[in-house]
Protein backbone atom coordinates (compact mmCIF):
# COMPACT_ATOMS: atom_id res chain seq x y z
CA UNK A 1 0.00 0.00 0.00
CA UNK A 2 1.24 3.50 -0.84
CA UNK A 3 1.42 5.73 2.26
CA UNK A 4 1.77 9.51 2.17
CA UNK A 5 3.95 11.33 4.66
CA UNK A 6 1.72 14.09 6.00
CA UNK A 7 4.07 15.63 8.53
CA UNK A 8 4.79 19.31 8.01
CA UNK A 9 8.31 20.66 8.24
CA UNK A 10 8.56 24.28 9.42
CA UNK A 11 11.58 25.97 7.91
CA UNK A 12 13.52 28.83 9.42
CA UNK A 13 12.34 32.03 7.72
CA UNK A 14 15.31 33.93 6.27
CA UNK A 15 13.83 37.31 7.31
CA UNK A 16 13.07 36.10 10.84
CA UNK A 17 16.62 34.79 11.13
CA UNK A 18 18.14 38.12 9.99
CA UNK A 19 16.02 40.15 12.43
CA UNK A 20 16.69 37.84 15.37
CA UNK A 21 20.41 37.69 14.59
CA UNK A 22 20.68 41.49 14.48
CA UNK A 23 18.88 41.81 17.82
CA UNK A 24 20.53 38.87 19.59
CA UNK A 25 24.02 39.92 18.46
CA UNK A 26 23.55 43.25 20.24
CA UNK A 27 21.50 42.37 23.33
CA UNK A 28 22.03 45.71 25.09
CA UNK A 29 21.60 47.97 22.06
CA UNK A 30 18.62 49.26 20.12
CA UNK A 31 18.68 48.39 16.42
CA UNK A 32 17.02 50.97 14.25
CA UNK A 33 14.15 50.05 11.96
CA UNK A 34 16.06 51.51 9.00
CA UNK A 35 19.09 49.26 9.66
CA UNK A 36 16.80 46.20 9.75
CA UNK A 37 14.93 47.44 6.66
CA UNK A 38 18.21 47.81 4.79
CA UNK A 39 19.45 44.34 5.83
CA UNK A 40 16.23 42.76 4.60
CA UNK A 41 15.77 45.00 1.56
CA UNK A 42 12.23 45.92 2.62
CA UNK A 43 10.45 49.08 3.89
CA UNK A 44 10.29 50.15 7.56
CA UNK A 45 6.54 49.50 7.79
CA UNK A 46 7.24 46.01 6.45
CA UNK A 47 9.74 45.52 9.31
CA UNK A 48 7.00 46.45 11.74
CA UNK A 49 4.83 43.73 10.20
CA UNK A 50 7.62 41.16 10.60
CA UNK A 51 8.07 42.11 14.26
CA UNK A 52 4.32 41.70 14.77
CA UNK A 53 4.61 38.14 13.42
CA UNK A 54 7.44 37.45 15.86
CA UNK A 55 5.31 38.90 18.69
CA UNK A 56 2.59 36.41 17.80
CA UNK A 57 5.19 33.66 18.36
CA UNK A 58 5.99 34.94 21.84
CA UNK A 59 8.95 37.27 21.19
CA UNK A 60 8.78 40.65 22.90
CA UNK A 61 10.47 43.89 21.88
CA UNK A 62 10.93 47.30 23.34
CA UNK A 63 10.51 49.98 20.69
CA UNK A 64 11.79 53.52 21.26
CA UNK A 65 11.14 56.26 18.73
CA UNK A 66 14.34 57.39 16.96
CA UNK A 67 16.38 54.57 18.57
CA UNK A 68 14.82 51.37 17.30
CA UNK A 69 14.12 47.93 18.74
CA UNK A 70 15.52 45.74 21.49
CA UNK A 71 14.60 42.11 22.07
CA UNK A 72 13.24 41.78 25.61
CA UNK A 73 11.87 38.23 25.62
CA UNK A 74 12.62 35.04 23.70
CA UNK A 75 9.88 32.37 23.99
CA UNK A 76 11.10 29.05 25.37
CA UNK A 77 9.69 26.93 22.55
CA UNK A 78 11.48 25.25 19.68
CA UNK A 79 11.86 27.79 16.91
CA UNK A 80 13.83 26.95 13.75
CA UNK A 81 15.24 30.48 13.28
CA UNK A 82 16.44 30.61 16.89
CA UNK A 83 17.88 27.11 16.72
CA UNK A 84 19.67 28.07 13.51
CA UNK A 85 21.08 31.17 15.21
CA UNK A 86 22.49 29.18 18.14
CA UNK A 87 23.76 26.46 15.77
CA UNK A 88 25.65 29.09 13.74
CA UNK A 89 27.10 30.53 16.96
CA UNK A 90 28.29 27.07 17.98
CA UNK A 91 29.79 26.42 14.53
CA UNK A 92 27.43 23.49 13.95
CA UNK A 93 27.11 22.89 10.23
CA UNK A 94 24.54 20.08 10.18
CA UNK A 95 21.22 20.94 8.56
CA UNK A 96 18.45 21.03 11.10
CA UNK A 97 14.93 20.02 10.05
CA UNK A 98 12.15 21.00 12.43
CA UNK A 99 8.76 19.23 12.51
CA UNK A 100 6.19 20.47 15.08
CA UNK A 101 4.65 16.97 15.04
CA UNK A 102 6.13 13.75 13.70
CA UNK A 103 5.59 10.03 14.20
CA UNK A 104 9.20 9.44 15.27
CA UNK A 105 12.28 11.57 14.55
CA UNK A 106 14.21 8.32 13.89
CA UNK A 107 11.62 7.29 11.27
CA UNK A 108 11.70 10.74 9.65
CA UNK A 109 15.51 10.55 9.41
CA UNK A 110 15.13 7.25 7.52
CA UNK A 111 12.56 8.82 5.20
CA UNK A 112 14.76 11.84 4.52
CA UNK A 113 17.69 9.65 3.49
CA UNK A 114 15.37 7.76 1.14
CA UNK A 115 14.58 11.17 -0.46
CA UNK A 116 18.37 11.49 -0.99
CA UNK A 117 18.96 14.19 1.66
CA UNK A 118 22.68 14.68 2.20
CA UNK A 119 23.93 13.41 5.58
CA UNK A 120 24.60 14.24 8.32
CA UNK A 121 21.38 16.02 9.22
CA UNK A 122 19.20 16.37 12.27
CA UNK A 123 15.45 15.99 12.77
CA UNK A 124 14.01 17.90 15.73
CA UNK A 125 10.40 17.76 16.88
CA UNK A 126 8.11 19.11 19.61
CA UNK A 127 5.83 16.05 19.68
CA UNK A 128 6.10 12.45 18.52
CA UNK A 129 2.99 10.37 17.94
CA UNK A 130 4.91 7.07 17.76
CA UNK A 131 8.08 7.70 19.74
CA UNK A 132 10.11 4.49 20.01
CA UNK A 133 12.19 3.32 22.94
CA UNK A 134 14.62 0.42 23.28
CA UNK A 135 13.46 -3.18 23.17
CA UNK A 136 10.25 -2.29 21.30
CA UNK A 137 9.01 0.01 24.07
CA UNK A 138 7.11 3.24 23.57
CA UNK A 139 8.73 6.61 24.31
CA UNK A 140 6.15 8.94 25.78
CA UNK A 141 6.53 12.07 23.62
CA UNK A 142 3.53 14.34 24.13
CA UNK A 143 5.13 17.35 25.81
CA UNK A 144 6.47 20.22 23.69
CA UNK A 145 8.54 21.17 26.75
CA UNK A 146 10.78 18.16 26.06
CA UNK A 147 13.26 17.43 23.29
CA UNK A 148 12.97 14.70 20.68
CA UNK A 149 15.74 14.64 18.12
CA UNK A 150 17.68 12.35 15.82
CA UNK A 151 20.85 12.66 13.75
CA UNK A 152 21.58 10.52 10.71
CA UNK A 153 25.16 9.67 9.70
CA UNK A 154 26.48 7.50 6.85
CA UNK A 155 29.76 6.21 8.25
CA UNK A 156 30.69 3.40 5.86
CA UNK A 157 32.69 1.48 8.47
CA UNK A 158 32.47 -2.07 9.86
CA UNK A 159 29.39 -2.63 12.06
CA UNK A 160 31.37 -3.44 15.26
CA UNK A 161 31.88 0.27 15.95
CA UNK A 162 28.19 0.77 16.62
CA UNK A 163 27.98 -0.26 20.26
CA UNK A 164 30.71 2.19 21.12
CA UNK A 165 28.92 5.02 19.47
CA UNK A 166 25.86 5.10 21.72
CA UNK A 167 28.07 4.89 24.80
CA UNK A 168 30.29 7.76 23.63
CA UNK A 169 27.18 9.77 22.73
CA UNK A 170 25.88 9.23 26.29
CA UNK A 171 29.19 10.46 27.71
CA UNK A 172 29.36 13.61 25.56
CA UNK A 173 25.67 14.45 26.01
CA UNK A 174 25.84 13.92 29.78
CA UNK A 175 28.80 16.32 29.98
CA UNK A 176 27.04 18.89 27.76
CA UNK A 177 23.83 18.80 29.83
CA UNK A 178 25.75 18.92 33.11
CA UNK A 179 26.88 22.47 32.24
CA UNK A 180 23.22 23.60 32.33
CA UNK A 181 22.50 22.05 35.74
CA UNK A 182 25.71 22.55 37.75
CA UNK A 183 24.11 21.65 41.09
CA UNK A 184 22.69 18.30 40.00
CA UNK A 185 24.70 15.15 39.36
CA UNK A 186 23.92 13.70 35.94
CA UNK A 187 24.89 10.08 35.35
CA UNK A 188 24.65 7.36 32.72
CA UNK A 189 22.90 4.10 33.41
CA UNK A 190 24.21 1.36 31.16
CA UNK A 191 23.62 1.21 28.33
CA UNK A 192 21.47 4.06 27.03
CA UNK A 193 19.81 6.01 29.84
CA UNK A 194 20.67 9.31 31.49
CA UNK A 195 19.76 9.56 35.15
CA UNK A 196 19.68 12.07 37.98
CA UNK A 197 19.03 11.10 41.62
CA UNK A 198 18.15 7.56 40.51
CA UNK A 199 15.49 8.70 38.02
CA UNK A 200 15.68 8.62 34.25
CA UNK A 201 15.47 11.90 32.36
CA UNK A 202 16.68 10.83 28.90
CA UNK A 203 16.89 7.74 26.72
CA UNK A 204 18.89 7.03 23.57
CA UNK A 205 18.06 4.77 20.67
CA UNK A 206 20.52 4.00 17.90
CA UNK A 207 19.26 2.25 14.78
CA UNK A 208 21.44 1.16 11.89
CA UNK A 209 21.17 -0.06 8.33
CA UNK A 210 23.89 -2.41 7.15
CA UNK A 211 25.28 -3.66 3.86
CA UNK A 212 27.22 -6.94 3.77
CA UNK A 213 30.14 -5.63 5.84
CA UNK A 214 29.63 -1.96 6.38
CA UNK A 215 27.30 0.38 8.25
CA UNK A 216 25.26 2.20 5.64
CA UNK A 217 23.48 4.57 8.02
CA UNK A 218 23.22 5.19 11.74
CA UNK A 219 20.26 7.05 13.19
CA UNK A 220 20.97 8.23 16.71
CA UNK A 221 17.83 9.43 18.54
CA UNK A 222 17.47 10.92 21.98
CA UNK A 223 14.46 11.97 24.02
CA UNK A 224 15.18 14.36 26.90
CA UNK A 225 12.69 15.33 29.59
CA UNK A 226 13.69 18.95 29.70
CA UNK A 227 11.09 21.37 31.03
CA UNK A 228 8.15 19.01 31.58
CA UNK A 229 6.59 18.45 34.98
CA UNK A 230 7.12 14.85 36.23
CA UNK A 231 3.82 15.03 38.17
CA UNK A 232 2.08 15.00 34.79
CA UNK A 233 3.86 11.91 33.45
CA UNK A 234 1.86 8.70 32.90
CA UNK A 235 1.40 6.88 36.22
CA UNK A 236 3.51 3.94 35.10
CA UNK A 237 6.68 6.07 34.85
CA UNK A 238 6.00 8.86 37.37
CA UNK A 239 8.12 7.29 40.14
CA UNK A 240 10.93 6.35 37.77
CA UNK A 241 11.35 9.47 35.66
CA UNK A 242 12.30 13.10 36.17
CA UNK A 243 13.10 16.17 34.09
CA UNK A 244 16.06 18.53 34.05
CA UNK A 245 13.72 21.36 35.08
CA UNK A 246 12.68 19.34 38.13
CA UNK A 247 16.26 18.62 39.23
CA UNK A 248 17.51 22.13 38.45
CA UNK A 249 14.59 24.07 39.86
CA UNK A 250 14.13 26.33 36.84
CA UNK A 251 13.54 26.18 33.08
CA UNK A 252 16.29 25.38 30.60
CA UNK A 253 16.51 27.10 27.20
CA UNK A 254 15.11 24.57 24.69
CA UNK A 255 16.80 25.82 21.52
CA UNK A 256 20.23 26.22 23.11
CA UNK A 257 20.04 22.82 24.79
CA UNK A 258 19.00 21.23 21.46
CA UNK A 259 22.07 22.74 19.79
CA UNK A 260 24.40 21.68 22.64
CA UNK A 261 23.06 18.11 22.38
CA UNK A 262 23.53 18.06 18.59
CA UNK A 263 27.07 19.33 19.06
CA UNK A 264 27.75 16.60 21.63
CA UNK A 265 26.43 13.94 19.22
CA UNK A 266 28.82 15.17 16.53
CA UNK A 267 31.73 15.20 18.98
CA UNK A 268 30.88 11.63 19.98
CA UNK A 269 30.75 10.61 16.33
CA UNK A 270 34.18 12.11 15.69
CA UNK A 271 35.60 10.54 18.85
CA UNK A 272 34.19 7.10 18.13
CA UNK A 273 34.02 6.69 14.38
CA UNK A 274 36.98 8.90 13.44
CA UNK A 275 39.05 7.94 16.50
CA UNK A 276 39.46 11.59 17.43
CA UNK A 277 39.96 11.03 21.15
CA UNK A 278 42.78 10.05 23.44
CA UNK A 279 40.33 9.14 26.24
CA UNK A 280 39.62 5.50 27.02
CA UNK A 281 35.97 4.45 27.02
CA UNK A 282 36.18 2.51 30.34
CA UNK A 283 37.75 5.49 32.13
CA UNK A 284 35.41 8.12 30.68
CA UNK A 285 32.45 5.85 31.49
CA UNK A 286 33.53 5.11 35.07
CA UNK A 287 33.41 8.83 35.94
CA UNK A 288 29.75 9.09 34.91
CA UNK A 289 28.31 5.66 35.58
CA UNK A 290 25.37 5.45 37.98
CA UNK A 291 25.95 1.74 38.53
CA UNK A 292 29.69 1.38 39.29
CA UNK A 293 30.22 -0.52 42.54
CA UNK A 294 26.49 -1.17 43.00
CA UNK A 295 24.74 -4.56 43.27
CA UNK A 296 22.69 -5.10 40.11
CA UNK A 297 20.75 -7.73 38.23
CA UNK A 298 21.20 -8.11 34.49
CA UNK A 299 18.76 -9.94 32.28
CA UNK A 300 20.52 -11.92 29.53
CA UNK A 301 17.83 -13.69 27.56
CA UNK A 302 15.98 -15.80 30.15
CA UNK A 303 18.90 -15.76 32.55
CA UNK A 304 19.27 -13.33 35.51
CA UNK A 305 22.81 -12.51 36.55
CA UNK A 306 23.49 -10.85 39.91
CA UNK A 307 26.69 -9.05 40.73
CA UNK A 308 28.51 -5.83 41.40
CA UNK A 309 28.67 -3.50 38.39
CA UNK A 310 32.36 -3.02 37.69
CA UNK A 311 32.43 -0.65 34.71
CA UNK A 312 32.53 -1.31 30.99
CA UNK A 313 35.23 -2.98 28.91
CA UNK A 314 36.83 -1.43 25.83
CA UNK A 315 33.99 -2.74 23.65
CA UNK A 316 31.38 -1.04 25.85
CA UNK A 317 30.06 -4.26 27.42
CA UNK A 318 29.04 -4.07 31.10
CA UNK A 319 31.24 -6.03 33.54
CA UNK A 320 29.46 -7.73 36.43
CA UNK A 321 31.40 -9.42 39.23
CA UNK A 322 29.34 -12.13 40.88
CA UNK A 323 29.77 -13.30 44.49
CA UNK A 324 32.04 -16.21 43.52
CA UNK A 325 34.39 -13.73 41.79
CA UNK A 326 33.37 -14.60 38.22
CA UNK A 327 33.41 -11.59 35.89
CA UNK A 328 30.43 -11.63 33.52
CA UNK A 329 30.36 -9.60 30.33
CA UNK A 330 26.91 -8.25 29.48
CA UNK A 331 26.67 -7.09 25.88
CA UNK A 332 22.98 -6.26 25.65
CA UNK A 333 19.82 -6.15 27.72
CA UNK A 334 18.44 -4.46 30.77
CA UNK A 335 20.08 -3.91 34.14
CA UNK A 336 18.35 -3.00 37.39
CA UNK A 337 19.74 -1.94 40.73
CA UNK A 338 19.23 -4.60 43.40
CA UNK A 339 17.22 -3.19 46.28
Rank residues 105 and 255 by Cβ distance to ligand BTN and give the closer one: 105
**Closer CB to ligand BTN, 148 or 285, in the complex:** 148
Between 133 and 253, CB nearer to ligand BTN: 133
Q: In this complex, which beta carbon is closest to ligand BTN, that of residue 242 or of residue 310? A: 242
Minimum CB–partner distance for residue 166 and ligand BTN (Å):
10
3-class DSSP state for residue 36? helix
* In the complex, minimum distance from the CB of residue 14 to ligand BTN, in angstroms, rounded to a whole number: 28
Find the shortest distance in angstroms from Cβ 127 to ligand BTN: 11
Nearer to ligand BTN among residue 50 and residue 245 (C-beta) = 245
Q: Closest separation between CB of residue 146 and ligand BTN, Å?
A: 9
Sequential DSSP letters for 252-301: --HHHHHHHHHHHHHHHHHHHHS----S-HHHHHHHHBSSTTSEEEEEET
Q: d(Cα 75, Cα 55) in Å, to the nearest integer?
A: 10
* Shortest Å distance, C-beta 261 to ligand BTN: 11
CA distance 141 to 339: 29
* Separation of alpha carbons 268 and 169, rounded Å: 5
Please give the Cα distance from 29 to 23 (Å, whole number): 8
Closest by alpha carbon to 130, among 5, 10, 215, 228?
A: 5
Angle, helices 254-273 vs 161-178, to 10°: value is: 140
Residue 57 Cα distances to 10, 77, 80, angstroms: 13, 9, 12
Distance of closest approach, residue 22 Cβ to ligand BTN, in angstroms: 33
Q: Rank residues 146 and 267 by Cβ distance to ligand BTN and give the closer one.
A: 146
CB of 105 to ligand BTN, least distance (A): 4
For ligand BTN, which residue has the nearest CB?
Answer: 203
Residues of the shown chain interacting with ligand BTN in the complex, contacts defined by CB under 6 A: 104-106, 128, 131-134, 137, 139, 148-150, 192-193, 203-205, 221-223
Specify which residues 128 forms β-bridges with.
102
Measured from the CB atom, the residue of 94 and 310 that comes closer to ligand BTN is 94
d(CA 91, CA 59): 24
Amino acid sequence: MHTVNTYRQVESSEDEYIILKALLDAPDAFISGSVLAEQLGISRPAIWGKLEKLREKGFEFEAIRNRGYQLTKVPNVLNPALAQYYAAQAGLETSLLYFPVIDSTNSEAERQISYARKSPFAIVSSCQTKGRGRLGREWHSASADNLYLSVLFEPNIPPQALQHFTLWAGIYICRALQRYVPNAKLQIKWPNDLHCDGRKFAGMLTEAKMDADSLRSIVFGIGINLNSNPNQYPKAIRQLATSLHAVHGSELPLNQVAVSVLQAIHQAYDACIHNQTTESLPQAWAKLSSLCGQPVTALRGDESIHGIASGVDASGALLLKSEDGTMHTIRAGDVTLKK
